[in-house]
Structure 1
Amino acid sequence: MDFFVTTALGLIAAIPVTLLLFVASAIGASVIAAGLVAAQQSRATRPIAQAWIFVFRGTPLLLQIFMVYYGLAALGPVRHGWLWPAFREPLFCAWLAMTCCCSAYIAEVLRGALNAIPTGQIEAALACGMNPAVRLRRVIVPQMLRLALPAYGNELVMMIKSTSLASSITVLDVTGVASQVIAHSYRTLEVFCLAAGVYLAMTAALTALLRRIERSLAPAGSRRA
């Protein structure tokens, strides 16, 4: 019993590292994704955005983490330059890889939501004399958020589970701590079951939050009790 209590407390203590990686990656990926969607609206920058999305959606996240941590960090300009203090930190490398990878998926979610906005509403905004900034703020963005939220929320759930890959480069998140405990105790099944319970709790809390946000964004007549 003492083993389970001690292990559970150790895993709980690692939750802040997992949440930090998740929140930072979600923010960074969302910002880049918005830029990618904007870039796809211009013929000049569309190929760049499409190449970014193709590369990061087409290669495994684990491989990208290894390429950043073991590849980019080994380059001379990085290793001997001003970027080295950041690239020598496994948490930063995991964040960079997750941000770049997830931005490609989120960009596709946002692009789909943008394309789903009825053309008539854009035309109505133009007829009302709205300038691009007002049109974006009052017509496009609110509808994009409402349309994208279910798929965007699914990406966030996948991201919080993908943080477990950071343990492969020695980040002591929930999975990293679980691996350390297993290395000393050899009690694989029990430790991984406890770790799975921690991830289930985090994803359940995130799912509940996303559902509340989704209900708040729904039109008043369609909200469920």
Structure 2
Amino acid sequence: MATRAKDTRPPAPPAESAPDTAEAGRTARGGRSRSSAKGEQTRARLIAAARTLLTEDGLARFTTRNVAALGEVSHGMCHYHFQDRTDLIVAVIEDIRPEWITPLEEAVQAPGDFARRADRVIELLTRPEGVDLSRLHSSLHWFALNDERVRSSLEAEYRRWRGCFVDLFQVLADERGDGLDPVPLGEAVAAAADGLAAVQSLDAQVDAESVMRTLVHALAAGARGPRAPGRA
């Protein structure tokens, strides 16, 4: 596994130093200092640049120096916000959550019975994944194989993603009230969805909606709660 870089975080540059007394007072009253806003903007630019490099150039050119150059930020300022490239990658993993996990969570949590929520989930799952996001995921998976911190962060995101499917089948379990365990059902659909995405990346002719609809509704129809003691 890759180890964490030994460089240390330099002192904050003057452009993003602590606010003066007047600014601190405004911040304490609920405002936000200009230096704080500037720092957030700089951090966002660095994350955007990191995403671009990971998407377009993959692994070869992904260094903090290249990220800083692409984001038009000094290398020192990059290391002020991110200690090393692992920090940057973890920030990217968090940054893309609204693009693939949050919509799924919202589809499951929105009102409706199991069938309605399942339809929303299937509709999301069968949208073709953008090329950029697909390439970005591939790069993140490679880094996860070589950096324990990246692996831990990405694993947590996938655990959250799989949890959406478990929550979906929990709705079915609540409707039926027969003690149905939603975990294996949700995990099965999550694994199928992940595999289907890989198949689609190679064969666009696969009818993803038909596959997912058949799987989800077959699992829902065939699922059984725990058997009563003494029953065959």
Question: When the two structures are superposed, what TM-score results if normalisation uses the length of structure 2?
Answer: 0.29
* TM-score, normalisation: structure 1: 0.30
Whose Rg is larger? 2
Higher relative contact order, structure no. (Cα contacts within 8 Å, ≥ 6 residues apart): 1
